[in-house]
């Protein structure tokens, strides 16, 4: 393995999200979220499963803490359930039981010398806000800002790393274009752009609030977690493949990273592709990609670090402009293929390409002005028969972390932390419990939801302890 040296203060973490682990979906005053609603509709999720109980972390938090300690993590990334804190989504009514729960989690982490990293929004909008238009409605931005400020005020004395929104591209596209995530809309070619826009506005408002009201006292940092695969041309020398690859990067990472880190606006190639497709299909209304108005909070510069979720890579070629309906696929006009040399993890979308992460990190360094980067998610799925001795996942983590080390040492990328997805097996959205991403296995058939360390968890703990004791491998 590559000489595996990380900065002494490197953040070694694991991540989870509220809906995926907490359960307790309607106890102690929590309001329903769009995922509660979505899962309770037939046919939405694998086996009609839901997160009503999940890992029951609402009751079993102390078990999670033991897992965290066993791994030797320095950081733990969790998300707050907006509807557990503010059942109808507004600060008119605060659920004190929810506040108590997260206070305990944060205090226990700090007592154990683990820094909490909190995501404010990880896919689970309060249903009450969805009923008023959800992320499609412009008013959502100030409601999110109120919620964020409530959290900064209540927990910001102890939480120093904040993520406003997790994977806005996934929320926008899977939730509002493809309809496979809550709220299950399939308004192709329009809604996702509007949702993404309002998410950026919401993020920027919250960042500005933190910056002007809380930063000087609390001294924390705020960002937005962006997902991206690494994309490269199917044929390196082919101009059409190169252009298609640029479009994929623009429509995934650039959609959100360009406004925040580069120009305050969307990537030009994204807008021109969308507008050209509108013209081609005779859609004559205003651009489907909204614009930022002058009086809105400026978007540019609203991230104190770069938060990246990376899982896999793709080779790219043009799709051939064959789409007859308005949709993102048609706007993007790319086709993504897997290299035959890439092994597949449990899930068909998750080809194992550790060096794709190194390339993506270098791209982020060069494109977004060498930001401090936290890899806020990275992981490997298991499906089918349970394997506690998960040799393939051990190799995945070793290889991927080794690529992160190379990015730091050889490419000079300023990587500050790495978070494995996930601390434990949990509710994998539309795939329910059929897919396992945990460093701990959770036995969902047992009322105690007992947690068992996978071999990969043991390996990850070793990597952390070696790195922290300054040894190389
Ligand atoms: C990204 C999401 O943030 C997380 O919720 C999900 O479970 C993982 N990817 C794996 O798909």
pLDDT in tens, 208-235: 999 999 999 999 999 999 999 999 999 9
Give me the mean pLDDT over the 100-112 stretch: 99
Band (4; pLDDT cuts 50, 70, 90) = low
> Whose C-alpha lies nearest to ligand 1, atom 5?
17
Q: How far does the centroid of ligand 1 lie from the alpha carbon of residue 358, in Å?
A: 20
| Mean pLDDT of all residues in 383-398 | 96
428 lines ligand 1 (CB under 6 A): yes
pLDDT of amino acid 39 = 98
Taking CA atoms, 388 is separated from 3, 343, 394, 458, in Å, by 28, 20, 11, 11
Span from the CA of 125 to the centroid of ligand 1 (angstroms): 16
**Contact present, 42 and 102 (Cβ < 8 Å):** no
- What distance in Å separates the CA atoms of residue 302 and residue 325, rounded to the nearest whole number? 35
Does 156 score more than 80 pLDDT? Answer: yes
Of ligand 1's listed atoms, the one at least distance from the Cα of 421 is: 8
What whole-number distance in Å separates Cα of residue 401 and Cα of residue 8?
A: 15
Higher pLDDT, 368 or 469: 368
How many whole angstroms from 238 Cα to the centroid of ligand 1?
33
| Gap from CA of 438 to ligand 1 centroid (Å) | 11
String of DSSP letters for 215-254: HHHH--EEEEEEE--EEEESSTT-HHHHHHHHHHHIIIII
Query: Whose Cα sits closest to atom 10 in ligand 1?
Result: 428
Cα(342)–Cα(418) distance, integer angstroms: 23
Q: Is 377 in the pocket of ligand 1 (CB under 6 A)?
A: yes
* Distance from C-alpha of 433 to C-alpha of 384, rounded to nearest angstrom: 11
- List the one residue out of 160, 102, 123 whose CA is nearest residue 94: 102
Residue 41 CA to ligand 1 centre (angstroms):
21
- 406-432 in b/e form (b: 16+ CB < 10 A) is bbbeeeebbbbbbbbbbbbbbbbbbbb
Q: From the CB of 421, is ligand 1 less than 6 Å away?
A: yes
Residue 137 dihedral angles phi and psi, to the nearest 5°: -90, 130
Sorted by sequence, the CB contacts under 8 Å of residue 6 that are 6+ apart come out as 404, 405, 408, 467
Nearest CA owner, ligand 1 atom 2: 167
Tell me the catalytic residues: 167, 377
DSSP 459: H
Asked whether residue 459 carries a pLDDT value surpassing 50, the answer given is yes
Q: Whose CA is nearest to atom 6 of ligand 1?
A: 428
381 CB under 6 A from ligand 1?
no
CB atoms within 10 A of CB 1: 11
Atom 11 in ligand 1: residue holding the nearest Cα: 428
121 CB within 6 A, ligand 1: no
pLDDT band, residue 346 (cuts 50/70/90): confident
Q: What is the mean pLDDT of the chain?
A: 96
Is residue 396 pLDDT above 90, yes or no?
Answer: yes
Could you tell me if the CB of 167 is within 6 A of ligand 1? Answer: yes
The CA-atom distances, in angstroms, between 424 and each of 200, 310, 402, 428, 459 are 30, 18, 22, 11, 15
Cα–Cα distance measured from residue 125 to residue 133, given in angstroms and rounded to the nearest whole number: 11
Helix/strand/coil percent split, the chain, to 5: 40, 15, 40
Model confidence band, residue 471 (pLDDT cutoffs 50, 70, 90): low
- Spatial contact of 357 and 403, defined as CB atoms under 8 Å apart: yes
Pair type for strands 451-453 and 373-377: unpaired
**Nearest in space to 258 (alpha carbons), one of 297, 299, 222, 291:** 299
Tell me what the mean pLDDT of segment 278-300 comes to: 90
Q: What is the best residue among 122, 170, 428 to mutate for testing ligand 1's pocket, by most ligand atoms within 8 Å of CB?
A: 428
**Which atom number of ligand 1 is nearest to the Cα of residue 309?**
1
pLDDT in tens, 178-209: 999 999 999 999 999 999 999 999 999 999 99
State how beta strands 334-337 and 313-318 pair: antiparallel
422 Cα to the center of ligand 1, angstroms:
9
Residue 17 Cβ contacting ligand 1 at under 6 Å: yes
């Amino acid at each position: 393995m590559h000489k595996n040296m990380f900065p002494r203060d490197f953040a070694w973490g694991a991540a989870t999200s509220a809906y995926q682990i907490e359960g307790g979906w309607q106890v102690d005053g929590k309001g329903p979220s769009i995922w509660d609603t979505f899962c309770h509709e037939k046919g939405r999720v694998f086996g009609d499963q839901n997160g009503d109980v999940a890992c029951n972390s609402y009751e079993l938090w102390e078990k999670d803490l033991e897992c965290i300690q066993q791994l030797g993590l320095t950081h733990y990334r969790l998300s707050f359930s907006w509807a557990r804190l503010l059942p109808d989504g507004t600060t008119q009514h605060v659920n004190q039981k929810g506040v108590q729960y997260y206070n305990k989690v944060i205090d226990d982490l700090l007592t154990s010398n683990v820094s909490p990293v909190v995501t404010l929004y990880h896919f689970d909008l309060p249903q009450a806000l969805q009923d008023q238009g959800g992320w499609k409605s412009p008013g959502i931005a100030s409601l999110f800002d109120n919620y964020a400020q409530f959290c900064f005020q209540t927990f910001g004395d102890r939480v120093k790393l904040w993520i406003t929104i997790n994977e806005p591209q996934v929320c926008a596209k899977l939730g509002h274009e493809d309809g496979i995530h809550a709220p299950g809309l399939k308004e192709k070619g329009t809604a996702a752009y509007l949702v993404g826009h309002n998410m950026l506005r919401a993020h920027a408002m919250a960042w500005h609030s933190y910056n002007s009201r809380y930063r000087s006292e609390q001294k924390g940092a705020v960002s937005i977690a962006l997902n991206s695969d690494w994309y490269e041309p199917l044929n390196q020398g082919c101009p059409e493949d190169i252009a298609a690859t640029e479009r994929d990067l623009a429509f995934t990472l650039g959609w959100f990273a360009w406004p925040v880190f580069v120009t305050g606006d969307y990537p030009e190639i994204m807008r021109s592709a969308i507008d050209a497709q509108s013209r081609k299909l005779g859609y004559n209304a205003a651009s489907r990609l909204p614009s930022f108005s002058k009086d809105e909070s400026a978007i540019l510069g609203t991230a104190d670090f770069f938060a990246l979720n990376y899982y896999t890579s793709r080779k790219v070629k043009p799709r051939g402009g064959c789409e007859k309906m308005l949709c993102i696929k048609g706007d993007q006009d790319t086709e993504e293929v897997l290299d035959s040399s890439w092994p597949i993890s449990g899930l068909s979308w998750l080809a194992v390409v550790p060096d794709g992460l190194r390339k993506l990190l270098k791209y982020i360094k060069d494109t977004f002005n060498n930001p401090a980067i936290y890899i806020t998610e990275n992981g490997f799925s298991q499906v089918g028969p349970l394997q506690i001795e998960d040799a393939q996942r051990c190799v995945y983590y070793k290889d991927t972390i080794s690529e992160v080390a190379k990015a730091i040492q050889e490419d000079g990328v300023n990587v500050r932390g790495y978070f494995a997805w996930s601390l434990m097996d949990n509710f994998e959205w539309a795939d329910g419990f059929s897919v396992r991403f945990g460093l701990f296995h959770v036995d969902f058939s047992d009322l105690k939801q007992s947690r068992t360390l996978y071999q990969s968890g043991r390996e990850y703990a070793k990597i952390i302890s070696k790195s922290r004791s300054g040894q190389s491998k």
